[in-house]
Structure 1
Amino acid sequence: MAEVYDFKSKRLLACERFVANARSLPIFASKNDFNFESLSWNVAQLVSAGRARNACIAFKSLKSPLGTKKKPMAQPFGDAVKAAVAEKLWATRDAPNGVSAYRDIARAGQYLFRVMEEDQLNGDITALTIDHLTRAIPSHLAQDTQTTIAYGLRTLARIWAEAGIAPQLEDWEFDRIPSAKESRLENVKARRNLTHDEVCAIAEAFHRAKTPYEQVITSVLALLCCAPSRMEEALILPEQVEIVERPGEYDVPAEQSFHKDNRFRFGLRWWPSKGGPPMIKFVPAEMVPVAIEALSRLRTHTATARELAKWMDKNPGVMPLPCALSHVRDCGEITTAEILQLFERDVQRYKKFRPFRRLRNGVYDFFSVEDWWRAQRPNGWPILSERSGVKYSNALLVFNRYQLGNWATDPTQIEMLTEKQIGAALSPNPGQPSIFERLGVRLPDGSFPRITTHQIRHYLNTIAQRANVPQAHIAYWSGRKSVMQNRDYDHTDILDVVDQIMARGVHSEVAQSVPVIVSDGDGTDMDLLEASIRTNVHSTPFGFCVGNLTYEPCSRAMTCTTCTRLVCVVGNMDQTANIEADILRRRKSVENLKAMDANGRKVNPRMKAQMEAQLKHGEMLLSMMIKSENEGAVIRNSGAPGLMDFSHSVRAFESRKKRNQECLFEN
């Protein structure tokens, strides 16, 4: 008798595993007001307080009735949306967002399901395509609403791609419509990068920091400057993290082997959060002393909290007590004065003593106090991060509660450093100056820096892009599993070069075949010229090319110093070094020609003269690039001599043409 098997693809099996893992998350404990099967989750206990009237997330299909008649989204798509929201709730449990951040994900799933219904996919999540995501954004809605839905769709796409459910969706991006105040030619996202002055401000703050709060914040920033990492990756580092000398190529996949470079002789252990495996992130040798000092400072200021966490691990569920209050456990009673001594000001934030069971006037049951203390422990205790396997007892960035804040330190509780605390330290608020304001670190214009931790990651990626590091290496260094994600972090200074070109009135020729892109400005000729330059400028090892490389192949690849479309910016050391190397190569070639001529060997005089002219021009260009008074100036390579034109192919064609004509005449 033939047997019938239920075939399931790898993607469908991955979806089932993804949903099963989400069902087992602790957020579906009995104390919460929802379960995985519900079509409405009340997540009030898992999100930060906000202005929303309720904290419910709906998973019904769009336009279905409310109440008992509401219809769920078809499976397995509906469960996959729930699982994505649950994963996001669990991942941000230590620093929860407002309910709208999670509600937007579910809402994006509803709009995506409506498109699936139109194509009759019947909830088959593995059949999704990039076109479905694009069509899921309603065109009739306001622009802000479209952007919100797009962000939710992008979150779903990346979560499902990482889980192996729909890897084809990983690189989807929403082409946002520019607002009336934006220019289509002004890549706002590409401008979000650290400047040299802001990097110097971080270094200055690191050296000026004296108090524990100042040293903790600046040390975290210093670690982020050592390797391109996300903030959440730094927060889950273990206390044993160290600088590894000569990590070797075994830490790099075989297809991405690094060449032997002394700059990448050291590394830090990291747990990437963007799809990459646990790894050692290479650290430039110049930053090794900075990383060692930062780690030393962090270990010093977190040692007390780590010892407390270790004691709590050995005594699970037991509240630590100072020696002066050790008697309260034996008698089971604690007075008001002893509670204030134990928690200092913290207990007043919890409606004074209402959570505690009062025995008589001014006396409370100690064990009710201990029960309240257990409920205040961080989520996931004693595990800080499941990704890295780090516990609070061996984590690098753990502190006693309120140790870094304005409240009196709670000696009985542990908390981890959060992204909100770092963000608050970088963004000045009324009554709370930024770390740069506290330390008096200013930019050259007198203002205080306003940066984010993610800009540091963009800055390091930009340095790698400018150094022509292979894309596979940049992706690995940044903890990515796809080189396609590198493009969002490529902030070469092309836009700055365009600004300098326009400011100095350099009218560079632009190929006639390039489509004219009209600026959103006032339509002047300068706007059109700037649009054309910005559309076509490209970065090269020698400078910037304003030629039409998009539509025409370059006939002078790697011979940019002989091209009139080359634009150089004085002060770029890498480009200056490449020009110098090109001159050395040309000088060697000219010397070889002269030696051949002196030895009586046949030398093409036109070629010799042309190469000598190219060498002379390159030396002149280099002399202008190394002059300190030209720092920041734009040099257009307008007087460059052309390449040598050879007539071999022309003569061969004419000879063949003549021979063919003779054959035709004879016939």
Structure 2
Amino acid sequence: MAAVGRIGDRAGENWLESRERLIAAAKASSPFGDVEWDAAVWDVSVAYQHRTRGYKARALRLPFTQHRRRGWGVGDPIPAPFSDVIKALVCVRHQKRGQSAGSHSVFIRAARYVFEATRKAGHDVGELRKDDLDRAAAMVFRRERETSAYKVIGHMEELADALDRHRLCRVRLDWRCRRKSRPQSLTPDRIGDRPTEVSDRLPSEEAIRALGKLYQTIPKGESADDSTRADRILILIATIMVCTGLRIGEMLTLPVKPITISRDGSRNLRYARLKGRADDVAVLWHLKPLLSETVELVEAAVAELREVTAGARRVALLANRHGLLLRGKSIPEMLNGHDIRAVLGLKSRNIAQFLKSREIPFEIVNRGLLIGRDALCKGIAKDHWFGPLIPGPAGKGLELHESLCVVYANQIHRGTHTTLTYAARPVTDQNVHDFLTGRAGSRSVFDRYEFRGEDGLALRARSHGFRHFLNHLLDEGGAPDLVQTKWFGRHHAADTKSYQHLTSAQRAAQVVQDVLDGRVGGQIGEIAKALPREVARTFLTARIQAVHDVGPGLCIHDFQMSPCERHLQCTANCNDYVWIQADEAKAQELKRQAAVAYLSLHAVKVRARSQSLTQADWYRHLMTRYQQLMKQLATQGFHEADLVRYLKQEHRNAD
């Protein structure tokens, strides 16, 4: 493997010299390893092997090709020197920022449009002008969807900046697309936007009910190559995701025995948290408590999934132990067509096509095929996944035979390909996507089993939509934001807002009902108690127009009407502050804030005894805040004596 160097930014005034210098530096640096520079398609799997997940693509390739003219495969190669410039710039962006293969692919896609727009100039990068980029952008808007066009245009602007920075054009471009605007689907809601009843990211209840019906009706299938067996595997995966809210990658990398039992008898799901750039290098294993109403269903689905994938898991285990397939089988040194079908378990009689597709050499002897054993074992190795599902040391990574979601090669194709029972592969995110939403040439499970909505349209659901659906149910049931954030394994509470689909009116109506039912404390609750129920409902509906989670409680101040005079002082006797009584989810945060207020009051009293200057206003503020926090904790049976013990315990833990 060539040594990895650095690509400098130094560029001369002559754009031709700058181009040659940049290309030479990129070739010398080899950021993608030993790729063939002149090849139209680069296999960059080695550069990403530390972060490649088994549920993703098996090989990562960067095609430096033109737009394809057919619906399959790749287009014609982009000729040099245009392709050399794009390859060099891809090397630069990978070395400096470590971009993903997907990001590089979008960058190359943007370059394809620029290449097509420079046809009149002979595809000369040095003669590129702003008009050429405008024409390329116009083609993007005509051919791409709104969100895709926005991303491609962004990378096209990056390409123009890179050409300027390395002085690869005769004139400076300084180009920005005038038609570029962020799509509405990527823009958060703003004040004044038209309210939406249901987000597109939230699957309909009809789709969820249909999945439940499919779970009850799809049979296991009699054999591995039965198409219903593939559907059964995928409906089990979908069922577990609906009940647990796992991301697709977290679901497909579950260990073979993911459920553990705590000392109190509760069930937890052990999973690898896969989100963010940090997880490309390190994986953290987490325990997610199962919801009590879903425990029985999840345990049954996991047990059945483990059973129907046991055969593929055995194949993966043997391959992992011996490093090759068919280990332990008695195979003659030379095989004919009949032998191959018997050894590999093939049903198709077109053995020649099978061998050609795997580049396995064979001879024709007496009008029959003859293949060597070593050549056969080497050729069929391409059908098996030999790498880890999650890279990492023992206990951190995950091998294929240790995974719950493992299948025979081609098993998920549902009859379009022969199931290869001698090789095993992980279930991929594309398999799940095709199962739920379908694509060209592959109907979704809802279409194939004739499930439609009340409007007669086909049902659809995205795998990440299950996470939205479960989060929406928890939010609708009144689960605090902190509970939602922790249970779904998020680092930041602000991220939870993207998964909450209750409108402002629905959230306000929920708080009104909680106040009427006596579950909410605060000054407004005391006022409502003194009124007849119907009068109280009218009063609360008019009074509560907005709800904000402020940590220890809720704020009902409507900031669109006026600013709050007690901003950031919610627990200091604010009229707009309310809280859920006996809210155990917020107990730790309440104890922490009460402890801070208690220690601050103690410090003020010490200073007062030493006759230091003490401001009465600050003391009253601390006392008001402390009394409010202890009032909330009292609903949970936690009093000042408990707080003192809590402080002593925290002090011992710190030591």
Deviation per CA, 1:512-561: give whole Å up to 9, x if none. Answer: xxxxxxxxxxxxxxxxxxxxxxxxx455xxx53xxxxxxxxxxxxxxxxx
Whichever residue aligns with residue 300 of structure 2, its letter is E
**Structure 1 residue 307 and structure 2 residue 307: aligned?**
no
Unpaired runs of at least 5, structure 1: 1-18, 90-98, 111-135, 157-173, 248-261, 495-536, 545-567, 590-610, 625-634, 641-667
Corresponding residue to 2:436 among 423, 426, 430: 426
**Structure 1 residue 282 and structure 2 residue 289: aligned?**
yes
Map of 1:653 onto structure 2: none
TM-score, with structure 2 as normaliser: 0.53
Aligned residue runs from structure 1 range 484-503, under 5 A? 484-492=494-502, 494=503
Aligned residue runs from structure 1 range 132-171, under 5 A? 144=144, 147-148=147-148, 150-151=150-151
TM-score, with structure 1 as normaliser: 0.52
1:140 and 1:412, CA in 2 relative to 1: closer, same or farther beyond 3 A? closer
Tell me, what secondary structure is at the counterpart of 1:84? coil
Tell me, what secondary structure is at the counterpart of 1:191? coil
Question: C-alpha separation between the residues in 2 aligned to 1:56 and 1:427?
Answer: 32
Corresponding residue to 1:365 among 354, 365, 371: 371
- Aligned-residue offset at 1:621: 6.7
Map of 1:521 onto structure 2: none
Question: C-alpha separation between the residues in 1 aligned to 2:443 and 2:83?
Answer: 49
Question: C-alpha separation between the residues in 2 aligned to 1:188 and 1:69?
Answer: 49
Q: Percent identity?
A: 16
Corresponding residue to 2:230 among 210, 213, 219: 213
Whichever residue aligns with residue 79 of structure 1, its letter is Q
- Aligned-residue offset at 1:359: 5.9
Tell me, what secondary structure is at the counterpart of 2:245? coil
Asked whether the 8 Å contact 2:468–2:499 carries over to 1, the reply is yes
1:198 and 1:346, CA in 2 relative to 1: closer, same or farther beyond 3 A? same
Whichever residue aligns with residue 402 of structure 1, its letter is N
Tell me, what secondary structure is at the counterpart of 2:422? strand
Question: C-alpha separation between the residues in 2 aligned to 1:232 and 1:309?
Answer: 20
Map of 1:43 onto structure 2: 62
**Structure 1 residue 66 and structure 2 residue 76: aligned?**
no
1:348 and 1:84, CA in 2 relative to 1: closer, same or farther beyond 3 A? farther
Question: C-alpha separation between the residues in 1 aligned to 2:409 and 2:312?
Answer: 9
Tell me, what secondary structure is at the counterpart of 1:460? helix
1:78 and 1:349, CA in 2 relative to 1: closer, same or farther beyond 3 A? same
Aligned residue runs from structure 1 range 314-393, under 5 A? 314-320=321-327, 326=330, 329-330=331-332, 332-341=333-342, 342-345=344-347, 348=350, 351-354=353-356, 355=359, 356-358=361-363, 360=365, 361-366=367-372, 367-378=374-385, 381-386=386-391, 389-393=397-401
Question: C-alpha separation between the residues in 2 aligned to 1:471 and 1:352?
Answer: 55
CA RMSD of aligned residues (A): 5.2
Asked whether the 8 Å contact 2:241–2:466 carries over to 1, the reply is yes
Question: C-alpha separation between the residues in 1 aligned to 2:494 and 2:77?
Answer: 36
- Aligned-residue offset at 1:106: 8.3
Whichever residue aligns with residue 295 of structure 1, its letter is V
Q: How many residues align?
A: 428
Question: C-alpha separation between the residues in 1 aligned to 2:391 and 2:371?
Answer: 36
- Aligned-residue offset at 1:401: 1.9
Question: C-alpha separation between the residues in 1 aligned to 2:248 and 2:149?
Answer: 25
Map of 1:168 onto structure 2: none
1:189 and 1:72, CA in 2 relative to 1: closer, same or farther beyond 3 A? farther
Whichever residue aligns with residue 272 of structure 1, its letter is R
- Aligned-residue offset at 1:303: 0.5
Map of 1:250 onto structure 2: none
Map of 2:6 onto structure 1: none
Whichever residue aligns with residue 487 of structure 2, its letter is W
Question: C-alpha separation between the residues in 2 aligned to 1:385 and 1:31?
Answer: 32
Asked whether the 8 Å contact 1:333–1:363 carries over to 2, the reply is no
Asked whether the 8 Å contact 2:219–2:232 carries over to 1, the reply is yes
Corresponding residue to 2:516 among 570, 579, 600: 579
Map of 1:224 onto structure 2: 241
- Aligned-residue offset at 1:457: 1.1
Asked whether the 8 Å contact 2:247–2:464 carries over to 1, the reply is yes
Corresponding residue to 2:100 among 61, 85, 107: 85
Question: C-alpha separation between the residues in 1 aligned to 2:474 and 2:327?
Answer: 49
Asked whether the 8 Å contact 1:359–1:365 carries over to 2, the reply is no
Asked whether the 8 Å contact 2:43–2:61 carries over to 1, the reply is no
Corresponding residue to 1:198 among 173, 198, 207: 207
Asked whether the 8 Å contact 1:274–1:481 carries over to 2, the reply is no
Question: C-alpha separation between the residues in 1 aligned to 2:249 and 2:34?
Answer: 20
1:305 and 1:30, CA in 2 relative to 1: closer, same or farther beyond 3 A? farther
Question: C-alpha separation between the residues in 1 aligned to 2:326 and 2:248?
Answer: 31
Unpaired runs of at least 5, structure 2: 1-25, 48-59, 116-132, 157-179, 221-228, 545-655
1:272 and 1:464, CA in 2 relative to 1: closer, same or farther beyond 3 A? same
Asked whether the 8 Å contact 1:382–1:392 carries over to 2, the reply is yes
Question: C-alpha separation between the residues in 2 aligned to 1:67 and 1:585?
Answer: 68
Whichever residue aligns with residue 335 of structure 2, its letter is I
- Aligned-residue offset at 1:50: 5.1
- Aligned-residue offset at 1:153: 9.3
Whichever residue aligns with residue 398 of structure 1, its letter is V
Whichever residue aligns with residue 472 of structure 2, its letter is T
Asked whether the 8 Å contact 1:347–1:353 carries over to 2, the reply is no
Map of 1:176 onto structure 2: 182
- Aligned-residue offset at 1:479: 3.3
1:53 and 1:370, CA in 2 relative to 1: closer, same or farther beyond 3 A? closer
Tell me, what secondary structure is at the counterpart of 2:199? helix
Deviation per CA, 1:89-132: give whole Å up to 9, x if none. Answer: 9xxxxxxxxx9557358899x9xxxxxxxxxxxxxxxxxxxxxx
Map of 1:618 onto structure 2: 533
